[in-house]
Structure formats: structure tokens, C-alpha cells
Amino acid sequence: MDGAERVYDVARRSALDDAPLLTARVGRRVLLKREDQQSVFSFKLRGAYNRMAQLDVGQRARGVVTASAGNHAQGVALAAARLGIHSIIVMPVTAPQVKVDAVRRFGGDFVDVVLTGDSYSDAQAHAAQLQAIDGRTFVHPFDDAHVIAGQATVGAEILDQHPGPLHAVFVPVGGGGLLAGVASLIKSRRPVVKVIGVQSADSDAMARSIETGSRVVLDEVGLFADGTAVKQAGALTLALCRRHVDAMIRVDTDAICAAIRDIYQETRSVAEPSGALALAGLKQYASTHADIDGALVAIVSGANMNFDRLRFVAERAEVGEQREAVFAVTIPEERGSFRRFCATLDQRSITEFNYRIGATANAHLFVGVQTAGRDDRDVLLGSFRAQGFGVLDLTDDELAKLHLRHMIGGQSQHARDERLYRFEFPERPGALRRFLDRMHPDWNISLFHYRNHGADHGRILVGIQVPEHEQAIFAQFLGTLGYPYRDESDNRAYRLLLRSS
């Protein structure tokens, strides 16, 4: 491995952990290679340190420059401080702040950080300009033999830690340094073991390059899995991957979010999106391959997650696991329709419910429902149609999931005598349905919003049409509901955005 044993000056031999929950669900033994446990929370310090440790006295004196979306930058920063080599690290402005802060912390006085461009490729172009100015050594994040050799130590550890039957190792891919190193090492020692690369569907430069036989340049890359958002695979990494990699798998954002949750449930560690790529690919592979003999290993490559992304991950993980279905359902705009709709759901839990009274004879609902999988989703679709409800399945509709779910509503001329209330109730399975069952049929619901956020209490916003002469009776009714509530009818935002003048 090109003298790569020196990586252990800074890296640890990370654990290869059993994943019993995933094993039970997938039906095959699943193991997680925990590179998120490194001091920089990523495997990248292996290749960066191995490359910088090779520099001669003159090169060390001139310093190094590199480009990175974040994890390689942390590896270079740590190596710079450990070896006493000044480094300029160029990062795209889209790099998560947690990674930028970590680079500065690990590197200290030996590192200058430059933020420019929207992707790794933009940062790389700027780094090349800086290199030309002062002759620094460019420490490539993936397309370098020493870097690849450093990353190959991950593969060597997997084989040492699991000498028993091993079917496949799944590796996240951006530029290909980790995949090239792991595949080359494993095929040289145990060629029967499959090595499978996994990429985000919107950043699949390596997969396209292997398919076409030449280096494809993507016009744009998705930035959710920022650690693998590379527009072009490396020349050396492509050559090695074409020779040693058995297959490439593409996964979408929802599948990555589901894998992040799986890793958390197994380890109580929060992987970053790129860190969960391999597991997302493993699950996809296992779902279509019944002839698996031996364990499946996914490399959890990093845990440098921006905290503010967790909300999005939680929102999409249920859909990625086929445990939440999202529908637009059309029901008659008449009393009793809500209850009939809820009865159609049977015992399934509602995760989201959005409604605003409209101008037609029909009501349009945006609803999220917990399901047991795709088959259960199809059963529910059939149940809606059997009731005569119009229904659109929006589970795979990006526009609906990203934007439209938050835009249901607006002012309505038909919401006369509307009063607005917030209710709270203990968040339990079936709690929303019990709330609806208690709503009195004599008053029409004109607005409804609910979203299960995993909190201990559910929160509902309800618009109810109550004529002035029935206010006293309605107040008595509220007292019988048994739920804490607050009258928001005079709320300034409500009167501006939702209440018709």
C-alpha cells in the first residue's frame, strides 16, 4: 500500500460494527465500517496525511494547497498541524459551516481557508491558480496515488476484521479516491468479494464515466450530499475503478435520508449525507438480490453534518423508507366528509393534514400517512378510490414535498364567520383521529393544519365557521373537548395572510 502504514500516525483502525436492526430487516448480515469515528469524523485524513508525509524538505518549506468540500480539507488541516506544513485550503462557499470551522480548528496557524465557488470543481480551479503563483504542492483529494493508497487502508482493515464470508463492500463515491483504493486492495487480496460504488443520482460523474469509458463532466451537481458533489471523476481513479469495481448504484435524496436514520438507530451517530450513501446503496442492492452468500459491508464515511439539515433529513426519511405516503385527496365539500375520509385511513397514523376551504363543491386535502411499505400505499390508494375520492399520489413528487405542502391555504371568500384556534394533545398513535371524532358536526371546518414533528405533543391549527349568535354555545363546546387551546382569531399574521377582508 505504498508505505501507507504511516496513516496510523493520525488515523485509528475504525470499528466494523454489526447492524442487528438492519440485518433483521434486510435478511442478510449487515456491517458498518465506522469511518465517522476518526478524529476528523471522516476517512479523508488517511489519504491526506499519507500524501503530505511523502513531501521532501523543499516541498514542505513551500507549503501545500488543496481544494475540498470539507472532509479532505480537515484531513489536510490536521496533517498540516501535525507535520508543520503551511497549507492554503480552498473550499466552496456551499461547504457546511461545521466543516469550515473544523478546518480552522484542526489547522490553527498552519492553515489559511479561502471560500470561493459553488462546488468542489470551482474550488479546485481557484486552488490551481494559487499553486501556479507560489509553487506549492497541490494535495489532490482523490486523484493521487498516495492519497488512494491511504484510503485503501480502509479496505485492508475490513478484510482483516472480517475474514469470514463477505459478499460485497459498498463504498460512497465522489471523485473516486476511496472507491479506487478499497477496490484495488480488496481485488488484490480477495477477488471474489464484490466492490460496489454508490453515488447520489444528481452527482453521478463516476457512474457515467464508467458507463461511457471516458471522463464525463457534469454541468451541475446536487449539493445535499456535499462531500461527494464532484463534477468530474479523477483520471487515475476512473482507470482503477473501471478495472476493479463490480457495479455502480445511484440513490436519491430520500433514500440517503432513510439511511442516515438507519445509522442513527444502529449507532446513535448522525452520518452526513455522503456518509450514508453506501448504506443507501446496500439496501437498494439487497432488495433486488436474493442470491447473497456472505455479509454486506457499508462504509460510513463521515459524520460532519450541519445541525440545521436534520429537520430536512427527518422530513424525508419516512418517505425514503416507504413508511410515509403523501397524497392530494379530493373529497366533497360537505359535512361528514372529514370523518368519512378518516375512516378510510383505518388505523394508520396521519403524519400531516393541510386543508383550506375553497370555492368549489370539492375540498382538496394534502395528507401524509404512515404506511408499512409500497404495497400498503397501493392498498390505501385503492381505498380512497373505492370511496369515490379523487386522489393523486405525491410521494415521489419533489415539488409537492419541498414546496406545495407548505403553501396550502390562502385567503378564502368562503370562510365566513371563521374563528382560528390552536389545539394541543398528547402525541400518540391515533390521537389526531380521536381529536376529529370529538369535533362537533354543527360547525364547519374551514382550515386545518397538522404535522407530526416527533414531539411529545401534537399541535393543530383549525379554522371553524361559527356565526356570531352561536359564539356562546361554541365556547361551551370548547370546554368539553378536553384539549388545551388558544384563540388566534386576532393574530396579525392570520388576518393579513389567511383571513379574507
Q: What total of structural domains would you count in the chain?
A: 3
Helix axes 44-52, 145-161, angle to 10 degrees: 130
End-of-domain residue from the set 300, 317, 334: 317
Same domain for 48 and 36: no
CB 259 within 8 A of CB 221: no
Give the β-pairing of 194-200 and 166-172.
parallel
Same domain for 179 and 217: yes
Of 31-35, 158-162, 225-229, the one with minimum mean pLDDT is: 225-229
Our measurement of the distance from residue 198's CA atom to the centroid of its chain's CA atoms, rounded to an integer in Å, reads: 14
Average pLDDT value for the chain? 88
Q: What is the pLDDT of residues 56-110, one digit of tens each?
A: 999 999 999 999 878 999 999 999 999 999 999 999 887 878 889 999 999 999 9
Same domain for 377 and 291: no
State how far the Cα of 156 lies from the Cα of 7, in Å rounded to an integer.
13
Same domain for 442 and 309: no
State how far the Cα of 153 lies from the Cα of 165, in Å rounded to an integer.
20
Catalytic residue positions, numbered: 44, 301
Of 132-136, 145-149, 168-172, 196-200, the one with minimum mean pLDDT is: 132-136
Whether residue 148 lies inside any domain: the answer is no
Whether residue 326 lies inside any domain: the answer is yes
By residue range, what is the domain housing residue 493?
A: 322-497
Give the pLDDT confidence score for residue 3 in this predicted structure: 60
Give the pLDDT confidence score for residue 91 in this predicted structure: 92
* Other residues' Cβ atoms within 10 Å of the Cβ of residue 85: 24
End-of-domain residue from the set 138, 173, 201: 138
CATH of the domain at 478: 3.40.1020.10
CB 114 within 8 A of CB 92: no
What's the pLDDT band for 316 if we cut at 50, 70, 90? confident
What counts of helices (H) and strands (E) characterise the chain? 19, 18
Mean pLDDT, rounded, for 27-45? 96
Same domain for 491 and 369: yes
Q: For the chain, what is the radius of gyration of the CA atoms?
A: 27
Whether residue 198 lies inside any domain: the answer is yes
Is 241 exposed, middle or buried (CB count within 10 Å of its CB: 0-12, 13-18, 19+)? Answer: buried
Whether residue 425 lies inside any domain: the answer is yes
Enumerate the β-bridge partners of residue 449: 354, 461
Whether residue 432 lies inside any domain: the answer is yes
What's the pLDDT band for 274 if we cut at 50, 70, 90? very high
Helix (H), strand (E) at residue 169: strand 166-172
Our measurement of the distance from residue 405's CA atom to the centroid of its chain's CA atoms, rounded to an integer in Å, reads: 19
Which strands sit side by side in the sheet containing 362-370, from one edge to the other? 390-393, 324-332, 362-370, 350-356, 444-451, 457-465, 418-426, 485-487
Helix (H), strand (E) at residue 248: strand 247-251
Whether residue 150 lies inside any domain: the answer is no
Question: Which residue bears the cell 468479494?
Answer: 193
CB 45 within 8 A of CB 156: no
User: What φ, ψ does residue 178 adopt, rounded to 5°?
Assistant: -65, -45
Q: Convert 404-441 to b/e letters by CB count within 10 Å (16 or more is b).
A: bbeebbeebeebeebbbbbbebebeeebbbebbeebee
DSSP codes of every residue in 309-364: GHHHHHHHHHHHTT-EEEEEEEEESSTTHHHHHHHHTTTPPEEEEEEE--SSSEEE
At residue 373, the 3 state secondary structure works out as coil
Give the pLDDT confidence score for residue 409 in this predicted structure: 67
Whether residue 475 lies inside any domain: the answer is yes
Of 1-5, 112-116, 321-325, the one with minimum mean pLDDT is: 1-5
Question: Which residue bears the cell 389567511?
Answer: 498
Question: Which residue bears the cell 464508467?
Answer: 210
Mean pLDDT, rounded, for 265-274? 95
Question: Which residue bears the cell 362537533?
Answer: 440
Question: Which residue bears the cell 453521478?
Answer: 204
End-of-domain residue from the set 138, 166, 183: 138
Of 161-165, 182-186, 356-360, 444-448, the one with minimum mean pLDDT is: 356-360
Residue 68's contacts (CB-CB under 8 Å, 6 or more residues apart) are 44, 76, 89, 90, 91, 95, 120, 123, 141
Same domain for 330 and 456: yes
Whether residue 145 lies inside any domain: the answer is no
CATH of the domain at 308: 3.40.50.1100
What's the pLDDT band for 234 if we cut at 50, 70, 90? very high
Same domain for 16 and 51: no
Same domain for 161 and 36: yes
Same domain for 341 and 293: no
- Integer angstrom CA distances of residue 19 from 23, 48, 264, 289: 6, 29, 11, 19
Is 60 exposed, middle or buried (CB count within 10 Å of its CB: 0-12, 13-18, 19+)? Answer: middle
Same domain for 460 and 340: yes
Q: Specify the DSSP class assigned to residue 204.
A: -
Same domain for 313 and 268: yes
CB 483 within 8 A of CB 459: no
Same domain for 375 and 290: no
Give the pLDDT confidence score for residue 259 in this predicted structure: 96
